[in-house]
Protein backbone atom coordinates (compact mmCIF):
# COMPACT_ATOMS: atom_id res chain seq x y z
CA UNK A 1 0.00 0.00 0.00
CA UNK A 2 1.26 3.49 -0.91
CA UNK A 3 2.05 5.79 1.97
CA UNK A 4 -0.04 8.93 2.03
CA UNK A 5 1.68 12.29 1.69
CA UNK A 6 -1.17 14.41 2.93
CA UNK A 7 -0.24 18.04 3.46
CA UNK A 8 -2.61 20.07 5.65
CA UNK A 9 -1.58 23.28 3.84
CA UNK A 10 -2.73 22.14 0.41
CA UNK A 11 -5.75 20.05 1.45
CA UNK A 12 -4.66 17.09 -0.68
CA UNK A 13 -4.72 13.48 0.39
CA UNK A 14 -2.68 11.61 -2.18
CA UNK A 15 0.05 9.00 -2.25
CA UNK A 16 3.63 9.90 -3.18
CA UNK A 17 3.08 8.32 -6.59
CA UNK A 18 -0.17 10.23 -7.15
CA UNK A 19 1.60 13.46 -6.20
CA UNK A 20 4.47 12.69 -8.58
CA UNK A 21 2.00 11.90 -11.36
CA UNK A 22 0.14 15.17 -10.78
CA UNK A 23 3.37 17.17 -10.57
CA UNK A 24 4.65 15.71 -13.84
CA UNK A 25 1.36 16.38 -15.65
CA UNK A 26 1.37 19.99 -14.41
CA UNK A 27 4.99 20.46 -15.48
CA UNK A 28 4.40 19.02 -18.95
CA UNK A 29 1.38 21.30 -19.40
CA UNK A 30 3.57 24.30 -18.55
CA UNK A 31 6.19 23.10 -21.05
CA UNK A 32 3.55 22.95 -23.78
CA UNK A 33 2.60 26.59 -23.18
CA UNK A 34 6.19 27.84 -23.33
CA UNK A 35 7.40 25.52 -26.07
CA UNK A 36 5.00 26.74 -28.76
CA UNK A 37 6.15 30.34 -28.41
CA UNK A 38 9.83 29.47 -28.51
CA UNK A 39 9.33 27.20 -31.53
CA UNK A 40 7.79 30.11 -33.44
CA UNK A 41 10.60 32.41 -32.28
CA UNK A 42 13.22 29.84 -33.30
CA UNK A 43 11.65 29.52 -36.75
CA UNK A 44 11.71 33.29 -37.10
CA UNK A 45 15.41 33.34 -36.15
CA UNK A 46 16.22 30.65 -38.71
CA UNK A 47 14.72 32.72 -41.52
CA UNK A 48 16.70 35.87 -40.67
CA UNK A 49 20.00 34.42 -41.90
CA UNK A 50 18.48 33.88 -45.34
CA UNK A 51 17.23 37.44 -45.77
CA UNK A 52 19.17 39.66 -48.21
CA UNK A 53 19.71 42.27 -45.50
CA UNK A 54 21.50 39.79 -43.20
CA UNK A 55 24.85 40.44 -44.88
CA UNK A 56 24.49 44.14 -44.03
CA UNK A 57 24.23 43.50 -40.28
CA UNK A 58 27.09 44.78 -38.17
CA UNK A 59 29.44 42.42 -36.37
CA UNK A 60 27.65 43.25 -33.10
CA UNK A 61 24.25 42.45 -34.63
CA UNK A 62 25.52 39.15 -36.06
CA UNK A 63 26.97 38.30 -32.65
CA UNK A 64 23.65 39.04 -30.96
CA UNK A 65 21.89 36.97 -33.63
CA UNK A 66 24.23 34.02 -33.07
CA UNK A 67 23.85 34.20 -29.28
CA UNK A 68 20.08 34.47 -29.61
CA UNK A 69 19.93 31.52 -31.99
CA UNK A 70 22.04 29.45 -29.58
CA UNK A 71 19.80 30.47 -26.66
CA UNK A 72 16.69 29.49 -28.64
CA UNK A 73 18.19 26.10 -29.48
CA UNK A 74 19.13 25.60 -25.83
CA UNK A 75 15.58 26.50 -24.81
CA UNK A 76 14.10 23.90 -27.14
CA UNK A 77 16.56 21.27 -25.95
CA UNK A 78 15.78 21.96 -22.29
CA UNK A 79 12.01 22.06 -22.82
CA UNK A 80 11.88 18.84 -24.81
CA UNK A 81 14.24 16.93 -22.49
CA UNK A 82 11.49 16.06 -19.94
CA UNK A 83 9.47 14.36 -22.67
CA UNK A 84 12.46 12.29 -23.75
CA UNK A 85 13.26 11.34 -20.16
CA UNK A 86 9.63 10.40 -19.58
CA UNK A 87 9.53 8.15 -22.64
CA UNK A 88 12.84 6.45 -21.83
CA UNK A 89 12.02 5.98 -18.13
CA UNK A 90 8.38 5.02 -18.82
CA UNK A 91 7.13 2.41 -16.34
CA UNK A 92 10.45 2.17 -14.53
CA UNK A 93 9.08 3.32 -11.16
CA UNK A 94 11.24 6.44 -11.18
CA UNK A 95 8.54 9.12 -11.38
CA UNK A 96 9.70 11.20 -8.39
CA UNK A 97 13.21 11.50 -9.84
CA UNK A 98 11.74 12.31 -13.24
CA UNK A 99 9.74 15.19 -11.73
CA UNK A 100 12.87 16.62 -10.07
CA UNK A 101 14.93 16.39 -13.26
CA UNK A 102 12.12 17.74 -15.44
CA UNK A 103 11.73 20.71 -13.09
CA UNK A 104 15.43 21.53 -13.48
CA UNK A 105 15.22 21.28 -17.27
CA UNK A 106 12.20 23.59 -17.20
CA UNK A 107 14.03 26.16 -15.05
CA UNK A 108 17.04 26.07 -17.39
CA UNK A 109 14.71 26.29 -20.39
CA UNK A 110 12.98 29.34 -18.96
CA UNK A 111 16.34 31.01 -18.30
CA UNK A 112 17.48 30.39 -21.87
CA UNK A 113 14.09 31.51 -23.16
CA UNK A 114 14.59 34.78 -21.30
CA UNK A 115 17.97 35.16 -23.01
CA UNK A 116 16.33 34.39 -26.35
CA UNK A 117 13.64 37.02 -25.86
CA UNK A 118 16.17 39.59 -24.66
CA UNK A 119 18.38 38.81 -27.66
CA UNK A 120 15.52 39.26 -30.11
CA UNK A 121 14.55 42.55 -28.47
CA UNK A 122 18.16 43.74 -28.60
CA UNK A 123 18.71 42.66 -32.21
CA UNK A 124 15.51 44.09 -33.65
CA UNK A 125 15.71 47.33 -31.69
CA UNK A 126 19.37 47.78 -32.68
CA UNK A 127 18.38 47.42 -36.34
CA UNK A 128 15.34 49.69 -36.15
CA UNK A 129 16.09 52.28 -33.45
CA UNK A 130 18.80 54.38 -31.88
CA UNK A 131 21.39 52.97 -29.49
CA UNK A 132 19.70 54.73 -26.57
CA UNK A 133 16.34 53.16 -27.41
CA UNK A 134 18.02 49.76 -27.78
CA UNK A 135 19.65 50.04 -24.36
CA UNK A 136 16.41 51.12 -22.70
CA UNK A 137 14.17 48.46 -24.23
CA UNK A 138 16.77 45.70 -23.71
CA UNK A 139 17.29 46.72 -20.07
CA UNK A 140 13.52 46.75 -19.57
CA UNK A 141 13.30 43.20 -21.01
CA UNK A 142 16.11 42.01 -18.71
CA UNK A 143 14.43 43.53 -15.65
CA UNK A 144 10.98 42.20 -16.60
CA UNK A 145 12.16 38.63 -17.25
CA UNK A 146 14.44 38.37 -14.23
CA UNK A 147 12.00 40.03 -11.84
CA UNK A 148 8.77 38.30 -12.84
CA UNK A 149 10.27 34.90 -13.64
CA UNK A 150 12.84 34.56 -10.85
CA UNK A 151 13.18 37.32 -8.24
CA UNK A 152 9.51 37.52 -7.25
CA UNK A 153 8.79 33.77 -7.09
CA UNK A 154 12.09 33.00 -5.33
CA UNK A 155 11.41 35.75 -2.79
CA UNK A 156 7.94 34.30 -2.18
CA UNK A 157 9.32 30.78 -1.95
CA UNK A 158 11.95 31.86 0.60
CA UNK A 159 9.23 33.42 2.76
CA UNK A 160 7.24 30.18 3.05
CA UNK A 161 7.31 28.42 6.42
CA UNK A 162 9.37 25.44 5.23
CA UNK A 163 12.87 26.92 5.36
CA UNK A 164 14.40 24.20 3.16
CA UNK A 165 12.11 24.88 0.19
CA UNK A 166 14.85 26.20 -2.11
CA UNK A 167 16.83 22.96 -1.86
CA UNK A 168 14.19 21.13 -3.89
CA UNK A 169 14.75 23.63 -6.71
CA UNK A 170 18.50 24.09 -6.51
CA UNK A 171 20.06 21.12 -4.65
CA UNK A 172 23.82 20.84 -4.29
CA UNK A 173 24.02 17.49 -6.07
CA UNK A 174 22.31 14.12 -6.40
CA UNK A 175 23.53 10.80 -5.06
CA UNK A 176 23.51 7.91 -7.50
CA UNK A 177 20.52 6.56 -5.57
CA UNK A 178 18.65 9.73 -6.57
CA UNK A 179 18.33 11.26 -3.09
CA UNK A 180 18.92 14.97 -2.85
CA UNK A 181 21.97 15.90 -0.81
CA UNK A 182 21.69 19.09 1.22
* Segment (H or E) for 41: helix 16-48
Residue 126 and residue 61 in contact, taking contact as beta carbons nearer than 8 Å = yes
Rounded Cα gap, residues 41 and 68, in angstroms: 10
Mind listing the pLDDT tens digit of every residue in the chain (182 residues)?
A: 445 555 545 566 778 778 877 877 787 778 777 888 888 888 888 898 899 999 999 999 999 999 999 999 999 999 988 888 878 877 777 778 888 888 899 889 999 999 999 999 999 999 999 999 999 999 999 999 999 988 999 899 888 886 555 555 555 554 444 454 44
Q: Which residues contact 6 (CB under 8 A, 6 or more apart)?
A: 12, 13, 14
Amino acid sequence: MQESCSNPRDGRDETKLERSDRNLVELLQEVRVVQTGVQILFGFLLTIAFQPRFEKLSGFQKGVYFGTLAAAATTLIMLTAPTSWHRILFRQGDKEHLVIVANRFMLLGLASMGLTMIGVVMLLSDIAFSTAATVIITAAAVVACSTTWYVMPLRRRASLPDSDRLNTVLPDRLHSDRETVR
